Amino acid sequence: MSIKKGNVIEVDIDSAAFKGKGIGKVDGRVVFVPNTAPGDRVKTRIIKRKKSYLEGKLLEVLEPGPNRIVPQCRHAQACGGCSWQHVNYETQLAFKQEQVQDHMQRIGDLRDLKVSPTLGCENIFHYRNKMEYSVGHKRWLSSEEINKDEFVSDRCFAAGLHAPGRFDKILNIQECYLQDPVSYQILDFVRSYCTEHDIAPFNRIDHEGFMRNVMIRMGHHTGDLMVNLVTYKDEPKIIGALSEALLNTFPNITTIVNNVNDRRNPTAVGRYEKTIYGPGYISDKIGPYHFKIRANTFFQTNTAQAEQLYEVVKKFADIQPGETVYDLYCGVGTLTLYLSKRTNKVIGIELEKEAVQNAIQNAQENNVNNAHFIEGDMQEVFNEGVTNKFGSPDCLITDPPRAGMHPDVVKRLKMLKVPRLVYISCNTSTMARDLQELSEVYDILELQPVDMFPQTYHIEAVANLRLR
């Protein structure tokens, strides 16, 4: 039969695709259906029809498969934060291993590379140390509300997470299992306070209103608690009164900051920042090293699992006393410091000026004297001048952004021929592309997926390379 957009069909889900969508087949054509799991038989409405595939919206699970469980969170099916909460954790880990294996073979053509089983996370809920909630004037309506006979308005002070694929509508969450429960309790308080005091949410279409985001940061080891109120305007009286009310209700808050983003871009990073209460930062640890974390500082989101990730890197790097190590895309130097103990010197290179300044400060405050940091674009500063100054690396760590390494950086690594190379990635599709190039001069001994984000399709991976 000819399947058209809008048709309702039944389909058996056989496997899982990247981004957590279930895969089925109808008349030889692939159908992607979110919120499904292998083994499910489902009823789905076709919402997208392409030449090579179809996309459906889940209407009903007719027969649940053996991997399906009941999600803990009431928002799981509608929210984009936890795309796999309906799948048991052992199956999530297996899916992620398969996902990495697929990328290596299909994108990197690395047919003989065997991917190790995914390193799981001890805490599969409440593991995030940072949550960035959005505020808006439109909320996402449930299917039940949409199908009601009477009109249901979507206009309100909405606070939560964006509905999948919608920048203009907010899922007005009442609970969240990604961060400590105090996180959404604070969010709920801010939403109620703003509603009662006629504080307007920011309208991303008309660029009017006040409150844009509520960000919560927590110290995993210290218990420090930051509330970052991101606003469109600088209104000290409004923020002062809200902050006082927050502190009266949540006395465990250790700092409150106000990022003022008076521009049209959607970022939660303000054009400037004001400390309202406390030191303006929280503290936390990875291994024996402590770090000051400000509102806009990058820090591994899953602190406990970051230590497991770094242990994998440390094992693969096999650093010997007196060696020189390079850490490309080093951020604020968390991994650089973690690897510094056995080295003669470790050199971190990073594009962001503020991150480099934080890295230098982190090294000083942890009494690490053999760490050096360079600011600049990797393809420009990672050159002979750097290796002539600091020495050729015995081992090199690279942890590029989602886009992977620039071709010039890959070319430089192939020419430099570092004896040991460790590649960390948060995007295994671009990792596969880069590893294919590097495999011309390197053997890939191991590839270890590490689950930093349970209940989601996201996966980190670490590759262990040795010069052939």
443 Cβ contact partners less than 8 Å away, ≥ 6 residues apart:
465, 466, 467, 468
Res 83: pLDDT: 86
Strand partners of residue 122: none
Q: Which residues are registered as beta bridge partners of 10?
A: 43
Mean pLDDT of 224-240: 98
> Looking at 143-157, 343-357, 418-432, which range is the least confident one?
143-157
pLDDT digits (tens, 9 = 90+) for 123-167: 999 999 999 999 988 877 666 666 666 766 767 888 888 777 666
| Burial readout 391-426 (b: 16 or more C-beta within 10 A, e: otherwise) | eebbbbbbbbeeebbbeebbebbeebebebbbbbbb
Equal CATH topology for 8-68 and 97-123+298-467: no
CA geometry: angle at 82 spanning 166 and 200, to 5°? 45
Report the pLDDT value the prediction gives residue 81, as an integer from 0 to 100. Answer: 81
- The yes-or-no verdict on residue 428 having pLDDT over 70 is yes
| φ, ψ (nearest 5 deg) of residue 447 | -135, 110
Report how far residue 158's alpha carbon sits from residue 406's, in angstroms, rounded to the nearest whole number: 40
Residue (of 436, 432, 437) closest to 449 by Cα position: 432
Architecture of domain 8-68: Beta Barrel (2.40)
Does residue 121 surpass a pLDDT of 60?
Answer: yes
pLDDT of residue 141: 65
pLDDT bucket at 170, cuts 50 / 70 / 90: confident
- The arithmetic mean of pLDDT across residues 92-100, rounded, is 94
Q: Number of helices (H) and strands (E), helices first, in the chain?
A: 11, 21
Indicate if the pLDDT at residue 417 is higher than 60.
Answer: yes
Band the pLDDT of 461: cuts 50, 70, 90: very high
Which bin fits 91, alpha (ψ -120 to 50), beta or left (φ > 0)? alpha
Q: Which is it for the CA torsion 355, 331, 402, 468, positive or negative?
A: positive
Average pLDDT score over residue span 213-220: 98
The pLDDT tens digits for 11-37 are 999 988 877 889 999 888 899 998 999
CA-based nearest residue to 169, from 181, 180, 153: 153
Separation of alpha carbons 69 and 56, rounded Å: 21
pLDDT > 80? residue 340: yes
* CATH architecture type of domain 97-123+298-467: 3-Layer(aba) Sandwich (3.40)
H, E, C per residue of 106-165: HCCCCCCCCCCCCECCCCCCCCCCEEEEEEEEEECCCHHHHCCCCCCCCEEEEEEEECCC
Q: Please compute the mean of the pLDDT values over residues 260-279 and round it to a whole number.
A: 94
pLDDT band for 3, please (50, 70, 90 cuts).
confident
Q: Which residue has the higher pLDDT, 169 or 49?
A: 49
Structure tokens at 441: 């001069």
Helix, strand, coil % (nearest 5) of the chain? 25, 30, 45
What's the CATH number for 130-294?
2.40.50.1070
Q: Strand 420-425 vs strand 460-467: parallel, antiparallel, or unpaired?
A: antiparallel
Q: Is 395 a catalytic residue?
A: no
Query: pLDDT, tens digit, for every residue of 359-368?
Result: 999 999 999 9
Catalytic entry in 79, 121, 395, 426: 426
Where are the chain's structural domains?
Answer: 8-68, 97-123+298-467, 130-294
- pLDDT(110) > 60: yes
pTM for the model stands at 0.91
What is the rounded average pLDDT for all residues in the chain? 93
